[in-house]
Amino acid sequence: MVLSLLVAPTAAAHDGMDRVSVRAMTWNVCEEAGVASPTDAGYCPYRNEPQRKVEAIAEVVAARSLNTVLLQEICWGAPNSALELLKQQLGPQWKFVTAVSSRPDGGSHCRGALTGTLGIAIGVKGNFVDPAPAPVELPIPGELALERSPILCADVVGWTDTVCTTHLNNSPGADHAGQVLAVRNVVAALRTGGARGGPGRRLQHQSTGTPGSDRPDRPRMRRALLRTR
């Protein structure tokens, strides 16, 4: 289960600041899945063709003038890995931060024809306040403890919103309520400034729909994208 959200500040927190219209997309790139048949659970089309997925992301970014991408199950850190190809495709104005995900065996390397480290990523057309934000671990108990992704949040220079993403463990027996509570706690800390030491923040009313469709004349509307793969 993928959860990506934007945490917007209170009105007092951004007095005197120009609000940047955050235009975001989220995608589980599914470079961890690997079964061959579309009829099998976990099937991922074009799993071993990162260039095709990178081109698809870049096409949406250009078509919708996006300034934020939130990605899960993506390989990074190695030549020709999907995220490194995406950096080349989008250009130097885009910056990325990453966090490591792990499989049930505890491994985090990309498998098969893919290389690099498996994880989640946030990309923005801008500069991060902290180029290496600390991820927050999700509570995954017992034998499922090794299969996890953290919550990754990042602030962007000149933006009044915080962008976050994670990949919840949706396996039977996973602590689903505990994971959701962990996300709520991170959002609550952002509301009070405790997680960033900055201005108070709160989760705004959420708008769902096609990625990138937020109108600039409705700056208080932000998107929470939630789906199960």
pLDDT tens-digit readout, 44-79: 888 889 999 999 999 999 999 999 999 999 999 999
Give, to the nearest 10 degrees, the angle between helix 50-64 and helix 82-90: 40
Percent of residues, the chain, with pLDDT higher than 70: 71
Smallest Cα–Cα separation from 54: which of 21, 23, 94, 4? 94
The reported pLDDT for the residue numbered 206 is 30
Confidence of residue 177 (pLDDT cuts 50, 70, 90): confident
Beta bridge partners of 136: 151
Enumerate domains of the chain plus CATH numbers: 2-227 (3.60.10)
C-alpha to C-alpha distance for 75 and 107, rounded to whole angstroms = 13
Distance CA 174, CA 147 (A): 10
> What global pTM score does this model have?
0.78
Q: Which amino acid is at 125?
A: K
Pairwise CA distance, residues 206 & 180, whole Å: 17
In the predicted structure, residue 178 carries a pLDDT above the cut 80:
yes
Closest to 114 (Cα-Cα) out of 87, 88, 86, 80? 80
Report the C-alpha gap between 213 and 65 in whole angstroms.
10
pLDDT in tens, 71-126: 999 999 999 999 999 999 999 999 999 999 988 788 999 988 899 999 999 999 99
